[in-house]
Structure 1
Amino acid sequence: MREYDLVVFDWDGTLMDSTAHIVNAIQQACRDLALPVPDREAASHVIGLRLAEAMQQFCPPDQASRLPELVDAFRRHYQSDLDRVTLFDAARDTLEAIRACGAFVAIATGSSRAGLDRALAASGIKSLFDATRTVDECHSKPHPDMLLQLTDLFGVALDRTVMVGDTSHDLLMARNAGSHGVGISHGAHDSAELIRCEPRVIVHSLSELSSWLLPRLC
């Protein structure tokens, strides 16, 4: 018997192998402004949050007025060499298999609408999603707004919805919404941090996700 009618994916670090690129952009932006440069762990921890909220973590209180400048610097570095960032292996196959089971497929991301639309166009997989939500339309994670909007759109119960993400922000959003969470460890947050959010399962690749998820859909 099918357990889920809606599968929602995070984008960066879950479907798109972009964690290292984002971390580098954060670090380069801080260097540009002569601000303390965060290590990889600190920089990767904010991935998934609204951009201004994320960058605020690296702007000391006495430099708060420079936040817009820091955001602009991040955007500049993020756009540099973005065409080298690719989907994780098995991303397309996983999405196609989920759709073949008849479940709805959606995205809930901390990216902007313009940024997500560019990435979807470049990756060639936009048609595999029934809907997308970004921080331009919703509250930032871990607020449950994105999942609440998506379940309302499709008329799907929250307990028949599963959120797949690589960060604690994704899994806490799922928990706050009353839906299920699946952590994937190949992105920004490590397995130990994901486990603390009490997901149904931790997987280590999209292929492993398919092995766990498809029997619960088809």
Structure 2
Amino acid sequence: MKTRTFDLIVFDWDGTLFDSTALIVRCIQDACRDVGVAVPSDTDAAYVIGLGLHDALKHAAPGLPPERYPELGNRYRHHWFSRQQEVVLFPGTLEMLQDLRARNHWLAVATGKGRRGLDEALAQSGLVSLFDGTRTADETASKPDPTMLLELMREFGTEPARTLMIGDTTHDLLMASNAGTPRVAVSYGAHEPEAFGQYAPLHVAHSTRELHDWLLENA
């Protein structure tokens, strides 16, 4: 078996493993409509994916008074939890994770989701047993703050050079840069791949199959 380059591989969730970008965009737009503020475009709503909910909604509805952020957040959660069963893993995700486990990598998730949302998504997708650690934005700092990655590295005793972050947004890549870890981007999620270059990803994968193959060869 080829020698591992990385001991810990950390995945973003939405738009990286879970095909949820379109639904998140609709839920953000519906929440803004519910509270009577301007509805963001698909591009503007997709941009905030990966941030913690408070930061995401603040960017999506800049004209909303701060005291109404909880109301907007509650409306977003209402729409998301009523429809989350519509979204599924990207094809090939389970096989990719199983192959990485077979190579004895530690696997983790660092996500802008809240703990309830991630736990329900892990249960729905049947992936609970495949991950050794998880961090959510309501437990620690929101991306691109590096705290989630720093905490995971401390948990597993890994160095930045032996830790790989994989995500679909510039928030993920900047978090990895801030933590000093190598990073890989995927182009099939929330952000356009043209924005990734300044964060120096090792690779930009255009499908889960391509990501799977790259990881088996390089991780």
In the TM superposition, residue 61 of structure 1 has moved relative to its aligned partner by 4.4
TM-score, normalized by length of structure 2? 0.95
Residue identity (%) = 49
In 1: Cα distance, 2:63 partner to 2:34 partner: 18
In 1: Cα distance, 2:160 partner to 2:209 partner: 25
1:161 aligned onto 2:163? yes
1:195, 1:202 within 8 Å by CA — same for their partners in 2? Answer: no
* Paired residue secondary structure (2:199): coil
Mapping of residues 2-81 of structure 1, within 5 Å: 2-61=4-63, 63-81=65-83
In 2: Cα distance, 1:77 partner to 1:137 partner: 22
* Paired residue secondary structure (1:182): strand
Residues 62 and 112 from structure 1, CA distance in 2 versus in 1: closer, same or farther, beyond 3 angstroms? closer
Residues 112 and 7 from structure 1, CA distance in 2 versus in 1: closer, same or farther, beyond 3 angstroms? same
- Out of 131, 138, 155, the residue aligned to residue 129 of structure 1 is 131
In 1: Cα distance, 2:136 partner to 2:67 partner: 26
Structure 2 segments unaligned to the other structure (5+ residues): none
Match of 2:180 in 1: 178
Q: CA RMSD in A?
A: 1.2
In 2: Cα distance, 1:12 partner to 1:172 partner: 16
* Paired residue secondary structure (2:65): helix
Mapping of residues 198-209 of structure 1, within 5 Å: 198-209=200-211
**Structure 2 counterpart of 1:145, one-letter code:** T
1:85 aligned onto 2:87? yes
Residues 62 and 72 from structure 1, CA distance in 2 versus in 1: closer, same or farther, beyond 3 angstroms? closer
Matched residue count: 217
Structure 1 segments (4+ residues) deviating >6 Å = none
The range that moved more, 115-124 or 133-142, is 133-142
1:166, 1:184 within 8 Å by CA — same for their partners in 2? Answer: yes
- Out of 93, 107, 111, the residue aligned to residue 105 of structure 1 is 107
